[in-house]
Structure 1
Amino acid sequence: MTPTTPGTRSKSDLDLADTLGHELVRLVRLVNRAKSQVSKQGPDGIERAAYAILFCLIHVGPQRTSKLAEFLHSEISTISRQSSSLVQHGLVERLADPEDGRACLLAPTAEGLRVFEENRKQRNQWLAEVLGDWSDDDRKTLNSLFHRLNDDLEKTSPQFADPASASKAKGA
């Protein structure tokens, strides 16, 4: 495959990308439907959205609220409210930031790890059921391709044309 500059993809490439885009939108919609079927509050009284904070802290390590907001593409006030709930429920703790004693880091507690693992087990049970009729090779291929897609999405920012420059290019 030869590298191309942005905006010079073939019709076939763009058609395949359109199909993928459709399937990704469908995937997000189905995942959101599944999430809505599970109550907005988990069995431990925590908002489902707050689990993203717990996930991040477990996988990335202790973080400041501002870094979590950046990582999760959320407002600091939202992260602050949700992390306060996690702290109140004993799932997250505040630690002094070794780089700046005035700031604090959020870190998962042992109970936070336990709750996270319980939720992970439930998710894995559901996904195993969804993929139950798939061959081992198909499941391995899916995992490999999703991993590759996520890696490429992480390192490639969308490059959408600036509407003003598009108008100028058309002579408007």
Structure 2
Amino acid sequence: MTERPQHAPFPCRGTPDGSADQLATQLIRLVRLVSRVKSRITKVGPEGLESAAYAILFHLIDKGPQRASHLAEVLHSDISTISRQSSTLVDHGLVERQADPEDGRASLLAVTQEGLRIFEANRRARNEWLEQVLSAWTDADRIALNSLLSQLNNHIETCGPLADRTGKGECT
């Protein structure tokens, strides 16, 4: 009879130890849970609109009109994917194409009033859900979570693969 290999305990079980393995497991779990929640609460808006298209909407609201090529770069997506998603946003009246003032041959994507309305409705739904999730948390715990997530995101953006085009950015 062959013995079965022993596996390490599942990293998210047990007492948190600060290991990268536990953190990775919890981040994967978080991303999956948020994705599931997003698919259930991002219902405000036209039928057939991919949830990924909301990332385009958010970026345009946050940063202003952009070229599709720039969106592809900052959203780490294929230009063909951005083109398809932005065309759907245009078709639904959530985004419009505008002439690029710096290059008349190019166009910028800009959010419409309807796009802003849909975005804000989804934002309210998301925030109501998060308020329920965090209702028992103290203000200090909420502040600590926001601070640590901000710190983690800043380091992800500036350390390793996202730090520079070579993917070998120095962590500080």
Which TM bucket (shorter chain)? 0.7 to 0.9
1:69 aligns with 2:72: yes
User: Which amino acid is 2:125 matched to?
Assistant: Q
Task: Assess if the C-alpha contact under 8 Å between 1:64 and 1:105 holds in 2.
Answer: yes
Asked if 1:44 corresponds to 2:43, the answer is no
Residue 140 (structure 1) aligns with: 143
Q: Which runs of 5+ in 2 are unaligned?
A: 1-16, 163-172
1:119 corresponding residue in structure 2: 122
Whether the 8 Å CA contact 2:45–2:118 is kept in 1: the answer is no
Specify the code of the residue in structure 2 equivalent to 1:65: A
> Aligned pairs, how many?
145
State the TM-score, normalized to the length of structure 1.
0.77
- Residue identity opposite 1:120 in structure 2: R
- 1:5-84 mapped onto 2 (5 Å cutoff): 16-38=19-41, 42-45=44-47, 46-84=49-87
Deviations 1:21-74 (CA, angstroms, capped at 9, x unpaired): 1111111111122234457x6542222221111011111211111111111111
Q: CA RMSD in A?
A: 2.0
SS in 1 for 2:140: helix
Q: What TM-score does the superposition give when structure 2 sets the normalisation length?
A: 0.77
2:94·2:113 contact (CA, 8 Å) conserved in 1?
yes
Q: Distance in 2 between matches of 1:42 and 1:48?
A: 11
Identity rate of aligned residues, in percent? 61
| Structure with greater helix share of residues | 1
Cα distance in 2 for partners of 1:21, 1:75 equals 26
Q: Which runs of 5+ in 1 are unaligned?
A: 1-13, 160-172
Secondary structure of residue in 2 paired with 1:157? coil
Could you tell me how far apart the structure 2 residues matched to 1:84 and 1:125 are? 30
What amino acid is the match of 1:21?
Answer: A
Relative to structure 1, is the Cα distance of residues 130 and 138 closer, same or farther in structure 2, using a 3 angstrom cutoff? same
Contact 2:41/2:122 (CA < 8 Å) preserved in 1? no
* Contact 1:42-1:48 at 8 Å conserved across structures: no
Q: 1:102 aligns with which of 90, 94, 105?
A: 105
